[in-house]
A and B are shown apart, each in its own frame.
Chain A
């Protein structure tokens, strides 16, 4: 390992450690004061955590669906990143679920969604579907990595120990065993596609069915969620592969990044088309409940989340970087485009959750209730930021541990 690499790893470790410490402070506040330090209120009842939840759920579904290109549809071109995509999907899912768990008024009662579900509720469907999805992810990942785990079990140190543990006693390195694993992952991949479409489309439907909020109540919502998931998940994979792959600098690496870039470019443009359809139809219709949230997003105090975040980072930057020949063929620039997309979609999710809630359901509601919680302005508080930073730090730490201790790195020819 070069010194340069060691330095990077150290910096990475320090950053993650700081994130975890900040998160611990947020966690302490959340557990000792409940929701009292939160910035969301009676009108904007969902805030940063819900936005982060749908953001990471989207990353998970997107990364999974891209892995399904390989496992279910046999697009071998993306084989090197397939397993990494599955692992990314798993970590993103955990980060998403932690966010929404802390958002509950009674965290200890989450099990009720399993013991007494109301299947008229999209939220109950969502929980059941992503539980199935979680199990499927773990199983698919295990079968895909099984033989490598068996091989890695021989390694010294933590990597070997962890691989021994996770191989669950399996020793089979035969060709027949490999063929069976491949078959199982294919079947799981095929089952996973409708499951991912259903559960993430379901998250969109969770908002879409709310007729009380005209800005959410759109048939396009489940579809927009899916496209946004694919675009953001694709961007994340592209960034991870461009910057972290062990075969950086090889022609194969460059070509695969360029191919991923084409995929992400297409998805970003498709998302822009959907968003344009949603915004333009609503604005043209001029129904106040439809228009007010959009204007709040575009011209309100957080206008920059829309213009600089969604439009600038989420559309202009990736479209330029991924279509101009000089940058799209450079893994570094393509990786930057991926990061821009990943960052921009946080803004997309914030603008889905918050502005539609900022419009009072009935005129005069805000003025009638003398409470600082009855307000059309929501700013996440330190507690919300801190806890969220901690959860994301935990996700990054888990990802780094898995990436370094388990056979997850993009497979290059010599390992196969």
Chain B
């Protein structure tokens, strides 16, 4: 039986997976992401939906889509690689934090406490995937008469309502993808999963053998980035 017959089925299936996982105690969940590179068209819908969801300022990117042209003209092909945070099981960014402001939570997601982070940026240097960025306090609509609403509206990262403003966290903090935990805990999929136009991204509980992500990893050939560093990412790529 084909794994995914049509797009809507996948979304419904993942949301059911989510409900099942949320019934379990948090420590028994293990969130993971699977990205099908054969379906990615590099439209950056994931990048944009993440920006809209988390209202990240200029330069702060939780998700990016790397693009590379392979071959010699006219025999060329483009390869795309969406890159969220890998949510490593052995995260090098966590060990280096001098104040313990970032850690792997019991659901396996690497989180940051914005009210503790001192902004030393050591974790950015330690991430082999470039998944962490620093909030310099910049705005997209700086220099216009009024800051746009999408910059001043509250965000709900880590299930805390926060309005970004000068001199207060998360300005001056390091920021990263958190698998939209605030959405997940409400039974919603991460923004990038919902908005992927090619249904190339999947999300779910890796501990649940019946989840779509587990099934995809069983059925298809999957790889992870920089396996040699021993970081044990929980983002898998299908090719």
Q: Which residues of A does B touch, CB under 8 Å?
A: 33-36, 38, 41-43, 45-46, 103-106, 109-110, 112-113, 116-118, 120-124, 127, 206, 209-213, 357, 360-365, 367-369, 371-374
- Say whether, besides A117-B98, A118-B99, A368-B64, A105 and B229 are in contact (CB < 8 Å): no
Query: From A109, which residue of chain B is reached at the shortest CB distance?
Result: B118
B225 touches A106 (CB 8 A): no
A364 touches B66 (CB 8 A): yes
A365 touches B130 (CB 8 A): yes
Contacts of A104 in B (CB 8 A): 118-120, 172
Contact of A213 among B100, B101, B125, B134 (CB under 8 A): B125
Query: From A108, which residue of chain B is reached at the shortest CB distance?
Result: B118
- Say whether, besides A41-B59, A106-B118, A113-B118, A46 and B128 are in contact (CB < 8 Å): no
Q: Which residues of B does A touch, CB under 8 Å?
A: 58-59, 61, 64-68, 81, 83, 92, 95-101, 116-122, 124-130, 133-138, 166-167, 169, 171-174, 225, 229
Contact of B229 among A109, A212, A369 (CB under 8 A): A212
A356, B26: Cα distance in complex, Å? 39
Contact of A364 among B59, B68, B119, B174 (CB under 8 A): B68
B167 touches A112 (CB 8 A): no
B100 touches A211 (CB 8 A): no
A116 touches B99 (CB 8 A): yes
Q: A35-B136, A105-B135, A213-B125 are in contact. List 9 more A-B contacts (CB 8 A).
A: A34-B172, A35-B137, A105-B174, A106-B117, A106-B169, A121-B97, A360-B130, A362-B225, A368-B67
A36 touches B138 (CB 8 A): yes
A113 touches B98 (CB 8 A): yes
Contacts of A368 in B (CB 8 A): 64-67, 83
Q: Is the interface of B mostly helix, strand, loop or mixed?
A: loop
Contacts of A212 in B (CB 8 A): 92, 125-128, 229
In the A-B complex, the 7 residue pairs with the closest CB atoms? A105-B119, A105-B172, A364-B66, A212-B128, A123-B98, A118-B100, A371-B59
B100 touches A43 (CB 8 A): no
Contacts of B167 in A (CB 8 A): 34
A113, B119: Cα distance in complex, Å? 12
Cβ distance B25 to chain A, nearest Cβ, rounded Å: 26
Cβ distance B182 to chain A, nearest Cβ, rounded Å: 22
Query: From B93, which residue of chain A is reached at the shortest CB distance?
Result: A212
Contact of A110 among B58, B61, B118, B127 (CB under 8 A): B118
Interface centre among B99, B127, B174 (most CB of A within 10 A): B99
B116 touches A118 (CB 8 A): no
Contacts of A103 in B (CB 8 A): 120
Cβ distance A192 to chain B, nearest Cβ, rounded Å: 23
Contacts of B129 in A (CB 8 A): 361-362
B98 touches A42 (CB 8 A): no
Query: From B63, which residue of chain A is reached at the shortest CB distance?
Result: A368
Contact of A46 among B67, B68, B121, B137 (CB under 8 A): B121
B95 touches A357 (CB 8 A): no
A363 touches B68 (CB 8 A): yes
Contacts of B100 in A (CB 8 A): 116-118
Contact of B122 among A121, A367, A371 (CB under 8 A): A121
B121 touches A45 (CB 8 A): yes
A45 touches B137 (CB 8 A): no
A360, B133: Cα distance in complex, Å? 13
B66 touches A36 (CB 8 A): no
A371, B60: Cα distance in complex, Å? 9
A120 touches B95 (CB 8 A): yes
Contacts of B126 in A (CB 8 A): 210, 212
A38, B99: Cα distance in complex, Å? 24
Cβ distance A404 to chain B, nearest Cβ, rounded Å: 36
A105 touches B133 (CB 8 A): no
B136 touches A34 (CB 8 A): yes
Contact of A123 among B61, B92, B117, B122 (CB under 8 A): B122
